[in-house]
A and B are shown apart, each in its own frame.
Chain A
Amino acid sequence: MLAGRLVNDIIASLWRVAVGFVLSAVLGIPTGLWLGQHIHARHAFLPLLNFFRFLSPLAWIPFAILWFHIGDKPAFFLIFMATFFPLVLATMSAVATIPSIYFRVAQDYHYQGLELLRKVTFPAVLPQVITALRVSYGIAWVVIVAAEMVGCQDGLGYGIWEARNGLRLDSAVCYMMVIGLLGMGIDRLLYQLTKLPNVRWGYER
C-alpha cells in the first residue's frame, strides 16, 4: 500500500520534471544559439534574461496556481521557469566563446544559415550545453519538491508535505532518500551524454 503510493509519487514527479525540462531544453537551446549569434539581440535581451534568472522560480508559485490550478500544469510551468533562463544563458555564452577560426573554416567551405547553425555552431557548443543540461536538471529536481508541496495532490514533494502534516518524520526521511537517490541516478544518465564520441573533445585537454 505504502510502496504503491511511493511508486505513484515517483512516477508523478519524474513525469513533471521530464515534461518541464524537455520543453525548456527544446525552446531554450535554440534560443540561446540564436541569441549567441546575434549580438544586438543579445544586448537587448540580456538584462531581461538575467532578471528572470535571478528571480527564484518559487516566486512564480502564486501565478502558477492562479493560472494553472492544481495538478501537473503548475509543476510543468515552474520547472520550465526554473530551467529555461539558465539554459538560454549558458548556451548563449558558449556560442560567444566559439573560436573564430571555426567560423573562418566554415566560411571557406560554404556553410551558411541553418546548416552553419546545425553543423558548426551547435556541435561547437554541445559539450558546454550538456554541462548546462546537467546543472539545470539539478535545479529542476530541487524545484519539483517545492512545486508539489503547494501545487499538486501527489508526487514526491507532496509526499513530504503530507508526512509533515501527519508528523510522520520516518516517512519524510524515506521520501528524502528517494529524492536524493533518484536525482543522482538521473544525473548519471545525463553524464552518459558526455561519453558521446563527438563531444569527448570538449572534456579533454
Chain B
Amino acid sequence: MYRYDSIDKDFLADRTAEFREQVARRLAGELSEDQFKPLRLRNGLYLQLHAYMLRIAVPYGSLNPTQLRKLAWIGRTYDKGYGHFTTRTNLQFHWIKLSDAPDIVDHLASVDMHAIQTSGNCIRNVTADPYAGATSEEIDDPRVWAEAIRQWSTVHPEFNWLPRKFKIAVTAAAKDRTAAKTHDIGLNLKRSRDGALGFEVMVGGGLGRMPYIGQTIRQFLPATRLLSYLEAILRVYNRHGRRDNIHKARIKVLVAALGREEFAAQVEAEWEKNGAGADLPDTELARIRGAFVPKSFETLPSVSETFEAARLRTPAFARFARNNLKPHKVAGYAIVEISLKAIGATPGDATSEQMEVVADLAERFGQNDIRVTHEQNLVLPHVRLDDVPAVWAALAEAGLATPNMNLVSDIIACPGLDYCALANARAISVAQHIAERFADPDRAELVGELKVKISGCINACGHHHVGHIGILGVDKKGEEFYQLTLGGSAAEDAAVGQALGPALPYDKVAEAVDTLVETYLRERQSGERFLDTFRRTGVAPFKEAVYADVH
C-alpha cells in the first residue's frame, strides 16, 4: 500500500497544527461558530445530536493493521469503544469532545491518517474497488489513480470552496463495486483496442432529494491526462454550479440543466485551453504505482485440502465460504469478506476489540492489507485458502463471521435518528428488525442477493434510492413513517428505485419487506435475483401484496 514520504508527513503535520490553532481560537471565542463550522467540517468534525462526530478518511478504503489498531485505540480512549464504517469507506466516532479533537488528529497523523475533507463543500475522500489488486476482473489497479486523486484533491487551492460536496469513485472492473454512477464523478478504467489505458468519465450522479444516475461525458480519456481533465470538470462546476440554493448546488443539477452534451462541451473547451499543467509526470505515476505492486504470492494448487476438509466437516464454515469468499486472481488464494452486519447489530459498527482481531488476522494471514467497502463491510483481500478456516474461526469468535454478504440482512443504513440531527426517523432499528426476520440463514440464502438500503431522511446517506429495496424515513405529523422503493441499483446496471405506494408506519416495515420477499419467491423464474424479477414483473404484484396485508 502507499506509504507516506516526508512530504506527505510534513503536509499532515502542518494541517494538524493549523487545526489545533483553529480549535483554540474557537474555544477562546475568537472564531464564531459560523466561521468555525466550515473549518471544522474540512477536518471531519460534525456537530450531531449528542456530541461532536469525527469522520476519519480511509482513502480508497485501504488500511494496514497499524492504522486499524490505532483506530481501535482511539475508539477506546476517546469514544465508547467502537466506531462506525460509512458508505464513503470512512470511519466515524460519534462521541467526541471538541477539546480532544486536535489530539486525536495528531494520533491519526502518527499512522499517516487524517480527517481532511471528509465533510464540507470540497472534494471528499476518494473511493475505489475494495477488491483492487486481488480480483482478476480488473484491467489496472484503481488505487494508483485513487492515490493520485487523493493527493491532487488535498487542500486544492482552487476547489476547496465548491458550491457543494464532491465525491469521486474509481473502478477498474466490469462489475462495479464502488457505486460509480451515484458519484459526482465516476471513473471506470478501460483499455482501448491498441492497449492504451484510459477512463470512461461519468458525471452528475448523486442521491439526495433529487437522485440522478451519472452520465458518460467521455468514453475514453487517456489515463495520464486524468488530473487536468478533473480540473476542467471542477472548474466548470466551481464557476457555474448553483450557489443560491443548497438543494440545487450539486454538480448533478448543473449537468441536468445544461444537458450532458453541453456540459461535456464546456469541459472539453476548458480542458483544451488549460493544458496539461495538472497532470502528473510519468516518474510520479511510476512512484505511486510502485507502492501497489503485488505482494509476492506463493505458487499454490487451486484446491486446498485443508479448506475442502473444513468445508465438509463444518456446515457453518461451508456457509461462510459460500457467501463471504470471492475468487482471487491467484490460485490458492481467496478474498474474504467480513460482515459488519451481524443480526441485531448496527450496520457498519465495529468495536475496538473487533478492529484489533481484524488487524491481527491481516497481519498473520492477510499480507497486512484491509479494505473497507462502501457497503459498510471489511475485506481481507489476500488470504491463502489454507488459512481461511483459521481466519473464519477467529472471526466467528469475535462475532465477525456472519455469512450474509449481499443477502437481505447485509443492509446499508445511515445513523438516522439515533445520532443525526437531520433525521426524520430511525434507520438502525429498522435494519435490525429486518435482519431479525431473516435470521434463519437457510431462508436468507434461498432468497439470494437482495440489497436493502435505509436512509433516515431525504439526504439519502443510506443510498435508499439505489437499493433493490429502498427505505426512506419520513415524518408524518411527528410520527416516523417509511417510504419504500423497489428496483434501484448502485452497480453497473445503476437505476433509481420506483415508489411502492403510501408510506408505512415504523412497526410495519419489516413485515412489508417480508411480504416483498415472499412475493418475489412466488414470482421468480429460474436464476432471477429479486431485482431481475422486479424488472420483469414491474411493481404491481409487490404493491398488491404489501397493501393487501397492511389494510
The yes or no verdict on A and B being binding partners is no
